[in-house]
Amino acid sequence: MGLKVYFNGKLVDASEARVSVYDHGLLYGDGVFEGIRSYDGLVFKLREHVDRLYESAHTIMLKIPLSKEEMIRAVVETLKANRLTNAYIRLVVTRGVGDLGLDPRKCEKATIFIIADKIVLYPQRVYKEGMEIITVPTPRNVPEALNPQIKSLNYLNNILAKIEAINSGCEEALMLSAHGYVAECTGDNIFIVRKGTLVTPPPYAGILKGITRGCVIELAGKARIPVREEMLTRHDLFNAEECFLTGTAAEIAPVVRIDGRMIGAGRPGKATLRLMRDFRGLTKSAGVKY
């Protein structure tokens, strides 16, 4: 039996869950989404993800025909139907079916679907030995044009960056802002450790305020590791003691090489390993039970 997908209020076989070619999510990337994880029967930071989804939707004036509580229940039902205790959940709300023009008023009802499946982003080796990233030519979208807090279905900016990294023989791309400051990676936020302080770009660098990023800032506070938001250059990265990426799918992924420069000792650092351990603990203790 295949996976069950939540599709507009019903649980259907994955093969039956199909969107219309007139759906504006497909035609224009007009929609919003979230990626969520569950660990041992707990949905990690579910409320935060649902809040962010509704904020993205509010900004693009997309009405979600479910209350937040109903949405939370729909996520839990989807997980239960698939008997998954450790899952990656993709929650998608599109503008819905319209005509071939842009006008969102022509789309009467949002399309909602929830997929609960597995995801492996980086191989296990990355978490043991660290990964290499490379700066790509495509800058992160200018936030004045498209605010990165809107987690929209249009990820072409990030996909172009990913393609450029892959073309250069690297799995992940470092994206800079249009002004040349460090922004983020294609689906992850970035941190460095400098003189014992954890430093990460501020939201005005044009980044998504990641939920994992927020967790790491909180965990660092508890571990008495000082944290600062600061505009960073590639020079700052090259000369950092440690570097790592954070994201729902990636969790905390150590970075040991950037643009051919070795970072610190060239292996996952002490603060990184500590935060990875603390994060693992957090995923086992906090979340919506199902």
Residues at the contact surface with ligand PMP, assessed by CB under 6 A? 35, 158, 184, 187-189, 208, 210-213, 246-248
Residue with tokens 């939707």: 57
Cβ of 113: how many Cβ atoms within 10 Å? 21
**Backbone φ, ψ for residue 275 (5° rounding):** -70, -35
Tokens of residue 207, six digits = 């980044």
User: Which of 260, 271, 242, 255 minimizes the C-alpha distance to 126?
Assistant: 255
Q: Which residues are catalytic?
A: 151
Residue number with CB closer to ligand PMP (99 or 218): 218
User: Shortest approach of ligand PMP to residue 66 CB, angstroms?
Assistant: 21
User: Shortest approach of ligand PMP to residue 250 CB, angstroms?
Assistant: 8
- State how far the Cα of 257 lies from the Cα of 67, in Å rounded to an integer: 45
- State how far the Cα of 261 lies from the Cα of 270, in Å rounded to an integer: 19
User: Shortest approach of ligand PMP to residue 53 CB, angstroms?
Assistant: 11
CA distances to 10, 16, 61, 181, 240 from 65, rounded to whole Å, are: 14, 21, 12, 39, 47
Cβ of 217: how many Cβ atoms within 10 Å? 18
Residue number with CB closer to ligand PMP (41 or 203): 203
Residue number with CB closer to ligand PMP (79 or 208): 208
CA atoms lying within 13 Å on the CB side of residue 217: 16
Residue number with CB closer to ligand PMP (36 or 112): 36
User: Shortest approach of ligand PMP to residue 108 CB, angstroms?
Assistant: 29
Residue of minimal Cβ distance to ligand PMP = 210
